[in-house]
Each structure stands twice: as structure tokens, then as C-alpha cells.
């Protein structure tokens, strides 16, 4: 059990300490991981930015991911996606919705600069935990195409089956807890509030100063 995201970030940064001094690029999956990425980047003397991906939501359960999509439109679908949905029209509609959300977020989060370039850099992708792993897979796939020197996935907690599914997409996996009994990421935090768009914008602006 982690006290909050800040404690989880500090513990991750300690595990990632071998990359201190190599100016790693620490990328957060918004929104929950953005405060964590800031802490990790500061502790490792690296740079912080975001990687935009969105989960594709199940029709009757928006918290359940049937896949994920990146800013280019590349889509990862879970093996159970078509069983859950049964209609590819819904998936196309959901993809369009999430692409529009990412366009709006990019305009809001980093309106005056392009994303930091991961090419040739040690890249650490951070989230506050993995459930299905869909968004992390989409993020790692998107970043791999940009030719980083090394691609690292760093999360506080993930169930073993998700960890096994995500690990092939990264060069290194850093995960602090791998519990057999897993219901949601939030169950492993004493405090797990929503992170707002305003907090994300404020952190990114402060980071750019």
C-alpha cells in the first residue's frame, strides 16, 4: 500500500537511480502520472513531458479498457475487445472520440511547444499503475517508433498477467509491487484523488520555465 502518488514516485525514482546523470526523458501518461513524472524527473536530474494515449472504453463500463489509441491513430485492441463489443462500428466511433480528446489535451497541455523528442534518449514512461495495460502498450509502441536509446516502463503496481503482456514492449520493466489479488489501481493507495487538467497544465508550465 502506497500512501499516495508522491510516495510511489519517490520509491520509483530510487529504483531508477542508475539513470541519474544521464538526463533521462520521463514521460507521464496523463493525468494521474503527471505529478509522479515531475518528482521522478527532478530526482534523476532529467526532463519531464507527457505522452498522450487514451483507453478505448467498453460500451457499458467506461472504466474498463478494451484497448487504447495514440495520437497518430495507431490502435491496440485487447484480445477480448470484439467479444465485449461485438460491433466494429462502436470501436471506430470510440477511436474518433478519443482522438478528439487527445487533440484538445495537446492544445491545452503544451500549446506553445512541440513534445520533447525521445530520439536517442533514455525514455522512462510512468503511470500510477497498470490494470489492463492497454494505454501503456499504446504509449510504448508510439515511443518505440521515435527511436529512443532505451525504453523503460515504470509503475508502482500491476497484476502479473498485465505485467507479462506489457513487458515485451519495453527494454526494461520497473514495477514495485506485483499482487496476485488485483481489483483496481486505486486499491493500492491510501490516498488516490483525481488529478485535474488544471494541475497538469500548471505542472507542465512550471516545468517549462
Q: How many structural domains comprise the chain? A: 2
Do 27 and 127 belong to one domain?
yes
Q: What are the tens digits of pLDDT across the range 103-117?
A: 999 999 988 888 999
Residue 59 sits in a domain whose CATH number is: 3.30.1310.20
Q: Is 155 helix (H, G, I), strand (E, B) or coil?
A: strand
* pLDDT tier at 206, thresholds 50, 70, 90: confident
Do 26 and 63 belong to one domain?
no
Q: What are the tens digits of pLDDT across the range 137-162?
A: 999 999 999 999 999 999 999 999 99
Which burial class, exposed, middle or buried, applies to 92 when counting CB atoms under 10 A from its CB (0-12, 13-18, 19+)?
exposed
Do 46 and 124 belong to one domain?
yes
Do 182 and 118 belong to one domain?
yes
| pLDDT at residue 111, as a whole number | 87
DSSP state of 171: S
Q: Provide the greatest CA pair distance for the chain.
A: 49
Supply the pTM of this predicted model: 0.94
Q: Which domain holds residue 104?
A: 55-109
Amino acid at each position: 500500500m502506497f500512501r499516495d502518488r508522491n510516495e510511489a514516485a519517490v520509491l520509483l525514482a530510487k529504483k531508477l537511480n542508475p539513470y541519474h546523470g544521464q538526463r533521462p526523458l520521463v514521460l507521464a501518461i496523463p493525468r494521474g502520472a503527471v505529478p509522479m513524472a515531475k518528482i521522478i524527473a527532478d530526482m534523476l536530474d532529467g526532463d519531464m513531458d507527457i505522452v498522450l494515449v487514451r483507453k478505448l472504453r467498453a460500451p457499458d463500463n467506461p472504466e474498463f479498457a478494451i484497448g487504447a489509441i495514440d495520437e497518430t491513430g495507431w490502435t491496440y485492441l485487447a484480445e477480448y475487445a470484439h467479444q465485449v463489443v461485438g460491433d466494429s462500428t462502436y470501436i471506430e466511433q470510440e477511436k474518433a472520440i478519443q482522438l478528439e480528446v487527445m487533440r484538445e489535451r495537446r492544445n491545452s497541455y503544451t500549446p506553445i511547444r512541440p513534445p520533447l523528442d525521445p530520439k536517442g534518449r533514455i525514455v522512462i514512461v510512468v503511470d500510477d499503475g497498470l490494470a489492463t495495460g492497454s494505454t501503456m502498450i499504446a504509449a510504448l509502441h508510439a515511443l518505440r517508433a521515435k527511436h529512443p536509446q532505451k525504453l523503460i516502463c515504470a509503475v508502482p503496481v500491476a497484476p502479473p498477467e498485465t505485467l507479462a503482456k506489457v513487458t515485451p514492449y519495453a527494454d526494461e520493466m520497473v514495477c514495485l509491487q506485483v499482487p496476485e489479488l488485483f481489483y483496481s489501481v486505486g486499491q493500492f493507495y491510501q490516498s488516490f484523488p483525481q488529478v485535474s487538467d488544471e494541475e497538469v497544465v500548471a505542472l507542465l508550465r512550471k516545468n517549462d520555465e
